[in-house]
Structure 1
Amino acid sequence: MLRAIFSNNLDSKLSGSISGTTPFQYLGFIIFWTLSLPAIWFPPQTIRHLFTAKAAVVPIAGIAFLIWAIVKAGGIGPVVHQETTISGSKHGWAFIASLMNCIANFATLILNAPDFSRFAKTKKSSFWSQAISIPFCFALTSLIGILVSSASTIIYGRTYWSPLDVLGLFLENYKSGNRAGVFFIAFAFALAQLGTNISANSLSAGTDMTALLPRYISIRRGGFICAAISLCICPWNFFKSSNNFTSYLSSYSVFLSAISGVVFSDYFWVRRGLLKLLHLYTGDKNSDYRFNKIGVNWRAYVAYICGILINIVGFAGDVGQDVPIGATYIYRLNYFCGFIISFVLYGVLSHFFPFQGIPISNIFKDKGWFQEWQEVDDFEVSKDLSVVEYGEAPKPEKSF
């Protein structure tokens, strides 16, 4: 956007290096970071209009960009005609590695979907919106990226893995029409990234931090803390090459898969859908979520760490270390391995070291589902949580 407004060679005018990146790239990051701060201020239910605008603008801009690139190239490039150079097990493992990268791309959404789905009026409205939109939108986004990169091979004689690099090259012809087109498509990209940043990063970080220190941290404050941390990790280093980016995604999912396994096991296997709302909002010693004197469920931490350890050797190999081939194969299935190990181990530990709040005596043999619909809008809690009464687990209406 800056190059479309001021000068095509604005990036070369700002020479030097800042924290491992160019001054121009750093300027873009700081501007985006600053403009993101006002969006963090608003609570989740009021920021929804940002996502409405994103849903309307971004698909139109993405499809327009794809058509522009195809017309400019006179076709979609060699991607659909290119024959694979690998076969057999190598082809299979390459497919699996690509699949893991796809899962890693929305591994964050798998975890923080409840931050938004809890505002849904019914269970079905939350389920169907995700079941339809996530596969379709991710597939469309990937398709646009692949075809634009393929078209760049014809236009420039080189394949650019980032569509934004291709968009920037359109400014070589610095006419008003190209400048306007690049500006508005780049604006749509920025709007898309802002929506993703707020939903997948700021709100989820803020929600988690409120659970750690609810007296001092709100969702808003947690979002601002997340924004401050983002300055310290130099995220532009992840985008120096396609290999850096895919390696980052794979390693990222290692940690998220282990968390997902614990959460899934706790709700669907151990507690069988049982949630006590009053217990969730108190640190009273009788709460089902107290676990011990310091309020920590050690079983979850053990399962989480083991879910990471199964992949850690393969991760070392992914960053250039010599490791056994078996560890590499396990790491190629990193999300599934981390999820399954943490899921099973948490259930086993919860069985042999039970805690208060498990509605069954044997999680391997007993059947039953204890989920009950809660009218949260009419949910009233006494300010004095010490007087809250703790009831017994509800009896299941049916077993299956």
Structure 2
Amino acid sequence: MPASSGTNTRDFMCFFLFWLISLPAIWFPIHKIRHLFTVKAVVAPAAGITFFIWCIVKAHGVGPIIHQPSQQHGPALGWAMVSSLMSCISNMATLVTNAPDFASRAKYPAAAGLPQLISVPLGFSIVSFVGIIVSSSSQTIFGEAIWSPIDLLGRFLDNNPSHATRFGVWFISASFIIAQVRAVHILLHLECFQLISVIDSLALFPRFLNIRRGGFIAAIVGLCMLPWNLLKSSNSFTSYLSAYSVFLSSIAGVMITDYYVIRKGHYRLKDLYSPKKDGWYYYTYGVNFRAYAAYIAGILINVVGFAGATGRSVPLAATRIYQMSFFTGFGVSAIVYYILNLLYPAAGAASTFQEVDLSAEEDLDVSRQIHVESDGDSDFKKEAVTEDVRTV
């Protein structure tokens, strides 16, 4: 393959084979392949720890990362730390916006809070620490820092490796494949929900598309995106993550403000599936212009800085704003959405916080009213029958 493609024939064929292996997993619902999740939960951490220890042993230490002095000082060091923090947050941005897809399986609304609060920061921190130490160890072993685990495992196979080395590379690679198949399955199913919700809202071919078919469409789109270009270097990957958070942070700002600030936990489940104009979520002809305006505002605050990240010459202030892209996008979209709701109040605004489905309470009140009325009718009928008996 030509160099302009961003890959070579060997790497493309490996990626294509992995893509084919991932396709059958889309066919099955998540609960039907739950045992694959169990295997992944055991094998993937074991492979990561093995990789971590193996690199430290081969390097006779953790490499120069611990002892080498910082190459930046003062404000440059501070902004470098901010950029790194944003890259870490951007890596979790999908979990922030897609949290309802997981939390909806919880037994009660607050059940998902504590597990996510502990597992997400701790899990990402441990994985990041392992990656940093492994990359640092590779600098001692091979004379250069290799950030990609795929490339590092490939280097282990150079110069006639032993059988133990071959087995170790196979075990770690196979474990990573299992982990990635599971991750692809989740991501494609989440993408399906987004795709189908858009299609249903626009009434386009709902008879022919479902979640499973949407998953295969998402898989094809993922292949057409040429994702290997994102892995050319660590800078390309972190730039992609930062750009990704620009869009997701604006969504998160609107979602959190609407639920916690505007409606304060109140919602109407029936209105989510109702096209009635008096429903909470009908808005203006089915479009919440407040959310779209806030979303665009959250993106615009980072657009100039994003152009600078692609190599354009932009003011330093725009670069600094973009280096805090998640916080700036989240904050601007949240503030704009709140102000627009003050100027143009939407249905469902509440003054006190309480996570409750008002439509369910209304149904309960109606059923109670019907029960009371039926009891009243029964009492009336009993009195009428008694009076008739007395008359006879």
Q: TM-score range with shorter-chain normalisation?
A: 0.7 to 0.9
| Distance in 2 of aligned mates of 1:267 and 1:225 | 31
Equivalent residue for 2:319, pick from 321, 325, 328: 328
In the alignment, is the contact (CA less than 8 A) between 1:207 and 1:218 conserved in 2?
no
Quick check: which one's helix share is greater?
A: 2
CA distances 1:99-132 after superposition (whole Å, capped 9, x unpaired): 0000001111111121121112233431222122
Letter in 1 for 2:180: Q
SS of 1:282's equivalent in the other structure is: coil
1:222 aligns with 2:222: no
Letter in 1 for 2:353: W
Equivalent residue for 2:167, pick from 177, 180, 188: 180
| Distance in 1 of aligned mates of 2:182 and 2:359 | 29
| Distance in 2 of aligned mates of 1:329 and 1:78 | 30
1:300, distance to aligned residue in structure 2 (A)? 0.8
1:44 aligns with 2:30: yes
Stretches of structure 2 that go unaligned for 5 or more consecutive residues are 201-205, 368-392
1:52, distance to aligned residue in structure 2 (A)? 2.1
SS of 2:120's equivalent in the other structure is: helix
In the alignment, is the contact (CA less than 8 A) between 1:73 and 1:152 conserved in 2?
yes
**Aligned residue number for residue 59 of structure 1:** 45
**Aligned residue number for residue 171 of structure 1:** 157
| Distance in 2 of aligned mates of 1:32 and 1:368 | 51
1:241, distance to aligned residue in structure 2 (A)? 0.9
Give the 4+ runs in structure 1 shifted more than 4 A.
15-18, 373-376
Q: How many residues align?
A: 356
Query: What TM-score do you get using the length of structure 2 for normalisation?
Result: 0.86
1:179, distance to aligned residue in structure 2 (A)? 1.5
1:359 aligns with 2:343: no
**Aligned residue number for residue 372 of structure 1:** 356
SS of 1:159's equivalent in the other structure is: coil
1:262, distance to aligned residue in structure 2 (A)? 0.8
Equivalent residue for 1:197, pick from 184, 204, 222: 184
Q: Radius of gyration: which is bigger?
A: 2
1:16, distance to aligned residue in structure 2 (A)? 5.5
In the alignment, is the contact (CA less than 8 A) between 1:17 and 1:23 conserved in 2?
no
Q: Comparing 276-285 with 242-251, which one deviates more in the overlay?
A: 276-285
Alignment of 1:74-223 (within 5 A): 74-172=60-158, 173-199=160-186, 201-214=187-200, 215-216=206-207, 217-223=209-215
Letter in 2 for 1:209: L
1:49, distance to aligned residue in structure 2 (A)? 3.0
| Distance in 1 of aligned mates of 2:4 and 2:14 | 12
1:232 aligns with 2:224: yes
Query: What TM-score do you get using the length of structure 1 for normalisation?
Result: 0.84
Letter in 2 for 1:358: G
Equivalent residue for 2:272, pick from 280, 284, 306: 280
**Aligned residue number for residue 291 of structure 1:** 283
CA distances 1:112-155 after superposition (whole Å, capped 9, x unpaired): 12112111223343122212211121111111111111111111
CA distances 1:335-358 after superposition (whole Å, capped 9, x unpaired): 000000001111111121123x32
SS of 2:32's equivalent in the other structure is: coil
1:232, distance to aligned residue in structure 2 (A)? 1.2
**Aligned residue number for residue 347 of structure 1:** 338
1:249, distance to aligned residue in structure 2 (A)? 0.7
Q: Comparing 124-133 with 260-269, which one deviates more in the overlay?
A: 124-133
In the alignment, is the contact (CA less than 8 A) between 2:266 and 2:357 conserved in 1?
no
| Distance in 1 of aligned mates of 2:278 and 2:357 | 23
SS of 1:45's equivalent in the other structure is: helix
1:264 aligns with 2:277: no
Letter in 1 for 2:291: A
1:17, distance to aligned residue in structure 2 (A)? 5.6
| Distance in 2 of aligned mates of 1:53 and 1:373 | 37
Q: Comparing 27-36 with 91-100, which one deviates more in the overlay?
A: 27-36
Relative distance call for 1:287 and 1:137 in structure 2 (3 A) is same
| Distance in 1 of aligned mates of 2:172 and 2:149 | 11
| Distance in 2 of aligned mates of 1:256 and 1:89 | 28
